[in-house]
Amino acid sequence: MGEDVQGKSPLCVDLDGTLIKTDLLWESLLALLKQSPLSLFQLPFWLLKGRAHLKHQIARRVTLDVTTLPYQQDLVEFLSKERESGRELVLATASHVSLAQAVAAHLGLFDERVYGSDDRINLKGARKVALLVERYGVRRFAYAGNSTADLPVWAQAQEGIVVNASSGLVGRAQALTTVSQVFSEPVSRLKPLAKALRVHQWAKNVLVFIPVVASHQITDSLLLLQAGLAFLSFSFSASSVYILNDCLDLASDRRHPRKKNRPFASGRLSIPFGILLALGCLLAGVLLALLLPSLFLLVLAGYLALTTGYSFYLKQFVLLDVIVLAQLYTVRVYGGGAATGVAPSHWLLTFSLFLFLSLALVKRFTELRLMSQAEGKELHGRGYWVSDIEHISSIGSASGLLAVLVLALYISSKEVLLLYSHSEVLWLICPVMLYWISRVWMLAYRNRMDDDPVVFAVRDPKSYMMAAMIGAILFFAK
């Protein structure tokens, strides 16, 4: 009962943070809130009956795809070798037993018995210790864990395995038992943090400066300061939504060839940390908005409502999702006007709508191309099929050309004569824009486009060159 035929103690393995780089309670909670947001109001009542009851109620309402979870691969390989040598492997976790059984069935490494929480017992800390001691005896089992909650278990174990823990925790475990293995990965939160915040996406918020630039008031320091505050407010607010979206999209991101490496999908950042980070960014964005005219706060609230609705619901609808994305770009332009008191013209808003609709469709087109290469039939969580790719490209190309048409009509309008002394020079912008839009679509067809064309433009030297050409044309048109 205490040792197998090879003389090794049975190895009991924790699940959350040990076998996987995430926590199934948080994963299942987010899955529940995504499919049924109103369940949020039931959570306090479930929790009043204990954490075991809470876990049971959540687990019976959601299904997680355990095949795509971020497993601790070096530990899995170690367990596989131990299994081949004849060692008994047991999964013992505080996660709900139904989820633990699904993980065990997927990996095929553990013996039939799986220990987990049920509707009455939350198998954590003292309860886990009592169960393992009762089953195997004191100092008659090995245990693999990752947190301070595992210290009481290590205190009763013959052998300890520590996974992804600080050096301090490793030392505390060594004081309690013989630590035979330490599995760890390089810990650097700065790069995953920047990716989670999508700092590179902040370039989109430069759009708030467009009303000031278009009205030829670029030298007004007060307007530039207001636009700068609007830029930061949109940036932090957008980051909060990006993080929320990533946490809600874990399942679909893990099926995507590139998105599976995002900080939360890959387990490099924890879900609780992500929630706190999102709240912090939202607070920063709102506080900055309070320094600007009240109209900007209303625009920001509308932006947050629209982008949150997109994250929870609207992105599931074919074509409506890209129209919403285009509107989110246009709202930034309008927000710049609200922050500075310089109202953007209807020409500018219409041009923005068609241009950013084209770029949003480039984004979907690129994702569909990736899925077609991965032999997938649909874009998970989006409703698109790989067979839609030609239709998407047709609409996207047409939308880009319509943006140039709106630009041409603007150049022909009376408003231009009031702003430019040599308005005829502005016609040179049209071929530059035609070239840029056509090039973006051609690169998308050649699989040389980033997931986000705006991010591509920020990194693309030719895009900078064309932006400089447009700047020179505007200068000479004055």
DSSP string, 417-472: HHH-SSGGGGGGHHHHHHHHHHHHHHHHHTT---SSHHHHHHH-HHHHHHHHHHHH
Residue 181 host element (H or E): strand 178-183
Torsions phi, psi for 362 (to 5 deg):
-60, -40
Nearest to 22 by CA among 241, 190, 254, 182: 254
Residue listed under structure tokens 């497993």: 71
Establish if 102 belongs to a structural domain: yes
Helix-helix angle 221-248:320-340, to 10 degrees:
150
CATH of the domain at 78: 3.40.50.1000
Establish if 338 belongs to a structural domain: no
Distance between CA 478 and CA 423 in Å, rounded?
8
| pLDDT for residue 1 | 47
Q: How many residues does the chain have?
A: 478
Number of domains in the chain: 1
What are the tens digits of pLDDT across the range 364-405? 898 888 777 665 555 555 678 887 888 999 999 999 999 999
pTM comes to 0.82
CA 14-18-21 angle, 5° bins:
135
Q: What is the number of other CB atoms lying within 10 angstroms of the CB of residue 314?
A: 16
Establish if 29 belongs to a structural domain: yes
The domain in which residue 49 lies consists of: 11-183
Establish if 252 belongs to a structural domain: no
Say if residues 285 and 300 touch (Cβ distance below 8 Å).
Answer: yes
| pLDDT for residue 262 | 93
Establish if 467 belongs to a structural domain: no
Establish if 261 belongs to a structural domain: no
SS3 172: helix
Torsions phi, psi for 180 (to 5 deg):
-95, -25
Establish if 118 belongs to a structural domain: yes
| Distance set, CA 270 to CA 12, 97, 180, 189, 403 (Å) | 23, 22, 26, 11, 42
* Mean pLDDT by groups of 10 residues along the chain of 478 residues: 63 95 95 89 94 94 94 95 93 95 94 88 93 93 94 94 92 94 81 90 89 86 95 95 90 86 93 96 96 95 90 80 89 93 88 92 86 61 76 93 94 84 91 95 87 80 93 88
| pLDDT for residue 311 | 73
Establish if 27 belongs to a structural domain: yes
| pLDDT for residue 58 | 95
| Distance set, CA 254 to CA 100, 195, 217, 257 (Å) | 19, 16, 46, 8
| pLDDT for residue 247 | 92
Distance between CA 285 and CA 98 in Å, rounded?
40
| pLDDT for residue 381 | 54
